[in-house]
Amino acid sequence: MAIDILALAAHRDDVEQTCGGTLLKMAERGYRAGILDLTQGEMGTRGTAEERASEAADAARILKVSWREALGIPDGCVENTWENRLKVVRVLREQCPRVLILPYWEGRHPDHYTASILGYEASFLAGLAKLDLDQVSVGQRFADKALKGRSFSRAGGDSDKSGALAPESLAPHRPFKIIYASLYRDVRPTFVVDITDQFETRFAALMAYKSQFTDQEAGSGIFPAQKEIRARVESMARYYGTLGGVTYAEPFVQKEIGLVDDVLAIPVKSI
Ligand SMILES: [Zn+2]
């Protein structure tokens, strides 16, 4: 069954920090939400990749997410390669999300902004009718061949679907909407999502990462104490909530213009 909204992020727990409340809210409205983590978190100061996998599954249950997967892209080394784009293309075609949440395209951590570009470019590729994943292997050694080879060079535009794919191949799919979760970056959001009713559950999802957020000796110099985390998460959510005239919210940026049908129904008061 297709997913309605998919959040892609570099690391397990990124989604919980930046847009978990929004995913939960959509799930509560009956939409199918999913999370794609590009890495498995093996470079983290605290915890192992295995611990993070089970914590990520716990967090997904708390957020009522229907589908979650971690690609095996090396942690700390997320690169926008052809091979990695194809891995994301496969997920987009399998899960067919209408809305894709990507990390904001600038940031401190290279994995975060690279994940953003990678996700965008994979979304474009995923819609190309003549990009046949069965013919362009995800193996690195096929990179050049795929770009020059017949499966790619014969593409005459993504609207022409004639003779493009074998019946068993994954059909082309491009998300209708891409929005960027901007919480990690100090930019003015285009819009915020009211997560007042989801805030506590979202915080519980973050705390499911016990290996990361339980007070402990390892990494105590770089990780704030749990009490401090609560204060920070709450202040950020309150700040964006204030911008939207609600208690708690999560910020997003969209590149497109906003389209309004009924100007009397525009929310957030001006004065
Ligand atoms: Zn991260």
Q: How far is the CA of 112 from the centre of ligand 1 (A)?
A: 6
Give distance in angstroms: CA of 72 to centre of ligand 1.
15
Q: Parallel, antiparallel, or unpaired: how do β-strands 191-194 and 249-253 relate? A: antiparallel
How far does the centroid of ligand 1 lie from the alpha carbon of residue 168, in Å? 35
Instruction: State the distance from the centre of ligand 1 to the C-alpha of 12, rounded, in angstroms.
Output: 7
pLDDT tens digits along 204-224: 999 999 988 887 777 777 777
Please tell me the predicted confidence (pLDDT) of residue 154: 30
Instruction: Return the pLDDT at 137.
Output: 59
- CA 2 to centroid of ligand 1, rounded, Å: 26
Q: Give me the pLDDT at residue 147, please.
A: 39
Instruction: Give residues with Cβ within 8 angstroms of 31, minimum separation 6.
Output: 4, 5
pLDDT tens-digit map of 104-121: 999 999 999 999 999 999
Do 82 and 48 touch, CB atoms closer than 8 A?
no
Interval between CA 95 and ligand 1 midpoint (Å): 23
| CA–CA dist 162, 159 (Å, integer) | 9
CA–centroid distance, residue 124 to ligand 1 (Å):
24
CA of 58 to the centre of ligand 1 (A): 18
> Which residues are CB-contacts of 27 (< 8 A; sequence separation ≥ 6)?
33, 63, 64, 65, 66
Residue of 28, 7, 24 lying closest to 199 (CA atoms): 24
3-state secondary structure of 181: strand
pLDDT by residue, tens only, the chain of 271 residues: 899 999 999 999 999 999 999 999 999 999 999 999 999 988 877 888 889 999 999 999 999 999 999 999 999 999 999 999 999 999 999 999 999 999 999 999 999 999 999 999 999 999 999 999 887 754 443 444 433 333 333 333 343 444 445 545 799 999 999 999 999 999 999 999 999 999 999 999 999 999 888 877 777 777 778 889 999 999 999 999 999 999 999 999 999 999 999 999 999 999 9
Interatomic CA distance for residues 114 and 105, integer angstroms = 7
pLDDT for the residue 202: 98
Which two tokens mark 61?
A: 């249950």
* CA 184 to ligand 1 center in whole angstroms: 9
Closest CA to 100 of 22, 161, 157, 40: 22
Distance CA 98, CA 4 (A): 5
Contact 129, 158 (CB under 8 A): yes
Q: How far is the CA of 252 from the centre of ligand 1 (A)?
A: 17
Q: What is the 3-state secondary structure (H, E, C) of 8-41?
A: EECCCCHHHHHCHHHHHHHHHCCCCEEEEECCCC
Give the 3-state DSSP-derived string for 202-268, with helices as H, strands as E and coil as C.
Answer: HHHHHHCCHHHHCCCCCCCCCCCCHHHHHHHHHHHHHHHHHHHCCCCEEEEECCCCCCCCCHHHCCC
